[in-house]
Structure 1
């Protein structure tokens, strides 16, 4: 079984409830992966809309004072991305790296109608990092967050579709969205809209499934494949797009095929002199290959497939950030009275490995003596625990040694001792 440490409260409303105006069960059954959902600000528990996550002032801060570099900024105009050289350069003495965002160049482009796309806010803006971690835990999928800043009356991108689901969170200003049904339902990442540009353009000329102006605090859910375009209205617009990386049945197919390389029949060389362009020559080989693949698939082990899916999915959803200096100080000061908890958002599995146990994390596997298993489970259960209360170990010295190891591996974080 996989364990996921639940998101902490910190006084924040549940992340999913901030994005949808219906109960989670109804959202999952009626909308998830199927149909759009518009949620107005008045229907959501967000007294300040989404400005607590990222505001126009925050955007100015990031663009001007944080040493932002590509690819954390893209700039688009008239449906086309502009070359990074148009808005980047060296940052002066001690910061000569040539791909840094230059605020004066950004100003010129934005004033001329270009849309600014701040990418990867789930990695570089604290409030968005926390929100994304909570939402990812609720949905169970990897996520990314970008911000779109559009001048009055401008449209950054032509009608298109995304290969991932999105939540659109309108932060500031008003933006007119036109939504059309898919030309390709459930597109994979390898099936971008550019390969169907004519179909997309033709469909966009027809009646919209949803034609709406988003106001501050409104939210819109769009499943992958749904066509959309958006235009700022009388004032500038800022919205966040939360992209949800789709985990699909085709991912199962890909991992099954990777594992099928274990079957010698599927690794066999084609007969000497086979004309690969001749369907009649290929037909018997295809028949034999399909039969061998079918027989192999019937024997496929779910555990092997799950292990490969874990290696694919877990690194895409990092747990909550840690503070390296504070963590190192806590390791040095650790004793039996110290309290620790699982790192928020940490996915983990614990499995027997001979006379030891293997703790699988998102980026590594740690092996420990088998007698550590009860203590490891207690440490990673989610609630803060006092080191001296760990079960299954003979002494406080053993408990401190195990806890120190997991703190060094960034599986745990220190928590304050109650006063």
Structure 2
């Protein structure tokens, strides 16, 4: 299984999302000490990979993404609310009421993180988990977007702050791949092979707790201490536990929420309702607890499903996968007020480009129309805009006055102004 290639416009004019951009490998090479193609062939979705700081091109380690001082800033001055913080101790999550409270005058909320309570819990050995940092901390917003483009997958980022000698969670597995980026301190990781290879999100480790415990008691496949600047890739399903050493530890976990073939199965089954045979009512009086009565109905249903699957429409499945996957990621942030000002002042000599990381698809619409599908909406536009749209969505910065297929600068400005206001384009 290789890393996804960039999805680009086909000769037929069918644009594709900008996920899977191989030019966005700088973020990936911060996480793996090997060529991305070799990583894809040898480790992606298969086996762990340890990359030491000396092997990675990270002069400052990962402190530029989130330092201990940055974590303190988030915990004390940014008004975090749940669920952006979780706290764990002795393998269990603590109730949010133990570290949240009222926001004070002018902030009439009851679940704001209170720094003095966080301090007390951390001093008592609790692990602090800052969640959703890919949405709230600018360096991680940018890093996550670039890494997501390289991998072709939506990502999430959590930070784990563990006091000296403490372990936040017992041995477990995740249902998504992760990159562990050690920022500060040292942490001892014990990695064991999966008890359930490639688990789905609906197959968490708690359902295999006895097996996890039994495997975790045996010799680990990987027993390492991560130091600042080290990185560790773990495919989903691999068992792991981690304990801070002589001082506190801060590491980032980048979760990769990849689609699976089971997602294809789910979407196929959702579409199978189009087949009348599969919508048929079971016979009157059928005893569903009797295998002998169920067997002929099962046989006929499987035959009908097989017939339907042989003629399943890839376009319909792709549409459903798009609706599932596109909203899971976010394109590059825009500055609403600045963007509005640019849209108002745009001119023929202005240069614009498509918003970085924006998934899009250009498809025919009603007669004389063309539809631009985005991750959260669709834009219906005159068919005469098609050439200009393909040009400006190509990823290359372009001068507004050079857009093809339109009668003059007035039409070009109308189109570009709308695309700026719809956050499709940004100033180059």
Q: TM-score range by the shorter chain?
A: over 0.9
Maintained 8 Å contact 1:5/1:344 = no
Please give the residue correspondences for 1:224-303 in structure 2 after superposition, counting only pairs within 5 Å: 224-303=236-315
1:369 alignment counterpart: 382
Deviation at 1:405, TM superposition (A): 0.9
Deviates more, 1:150-159 or 1:304-313: 304-313
Deviates more, 1:135-144 or 1:12-21: 12-21
C-alpha distance after superposition, 1:245-283 (max 9, x if no partner):
021110100000000000011001111111111111111
Q: Which runs of 4+ in 1 moved over 6 A?
A: 5-9
2:94 is aligned with 1:77:
no
1:220 pairs, out of 203, 228, 232, with 232
1:378 pairs, out of 391, 396, 401, with 391
Q: 1-side partners of 2:410 and 2:96: how far apart?
A: 55
C-alpha distance after superposition, 1:326-355 (max 9, x if no partner):
011111111212211110111111111232
Maintained 8 Å contact 1:160/1:200 = yes
1:167 alignment counterpart: 179
Deviation at 1:317, TM superposition (A): 1.1
Judging changes above 3 Å, is the alpha-carbon distance between structure 1 residues 190 and 238 closer, same or farther for their aligned structure 2 residues? same
Deviation at 1:8, TM superposition (A): 12
Q: 1-side partners of 2:238 and 2:25: how far apart?
A: 28
Maintained 8 Å contact 1:340/1:414 = yes
C-alpha distance after superposition, 1:303-343 (max 9, x if no partner):
11111111111110110111001011111111212211110
Aligned residues: 413
Q: 1:98 is paired with a residue of what secondary structure?
A: coil
Deviation at 1:173, TM superposition (A): 0.1
Maintained 8 Å contact 2:169/2:241 = yes
1:355 alignment counterpart: 368
Q: 2:37 is paired with a residue of what secondary structure?
A: helix
Q: 1-side partners of 2:104 and 2:32: how far apart?
A: 45
Q: Where do 5+ consecutive residues of structure 2 fail to align?
A: 1-14
Q: 2-side partners of 1:113 and 1:95: how far apart?
A: 30
Q: 1-side partners of 2:108 and 2:369: how far apart?
A: 50
Maintained 8 Å contact 1:78/1:155 = yes
Q: 1-side partners of 2:19 and 2:298: how far apart?
A: 47
Maintained 8 Å contact 2:286/2:293 = yes
1:408 alignment counterpart: 421
2:16 is aligned with 1:2:
yes
Q: 2-side partners of 1:63 and 1:412: how far apart?
A: 35
Maintained 8 Å contact 1:6/1:382 = no
TM-score (norm 2): 0.95
Q: 2-side partners of 1:405 and 1:187: how far apart?
A: 44
1:39 alignment counterpart: 51
Q: 2-side partners of 1:329 and 1:277: how far apart?
A: 67
Deviation at 1:7, TM superposition (A): 7.4
1:155 pairs, out of 167, 174, 180, with 167
C-alpha distance after superposition, 1:378-398 (max 9, x if no partner):
111112211111110001010
C-alpha distance after superposition, 1:161-188 (max 9, x if no partner):
0000000000000000000000000000
Maintained 8 Å contact 2:128/2:160 = yes
Maintained 8 Å contact 1:5/1:342 = no
Q: 1:147 is paired with a residue of what secondary structure?
A: strand
2:401 alignment counterpart: 388
Q: 1-side partners of 2:331 and 2:45: how far apart?
A: 25
Deviation at 1:116, TM superposition (A): 0.2
1:322 pairs, out of 334, 337, 344, with 334
Maintained 8 Å contact 1:6/1:344 = no
Deviation at 1:4, TM superposition (A): 0.6
2:368 is aligned with 1:339:
no
Maintained 8 Å contact 2:162/2:168 = yes
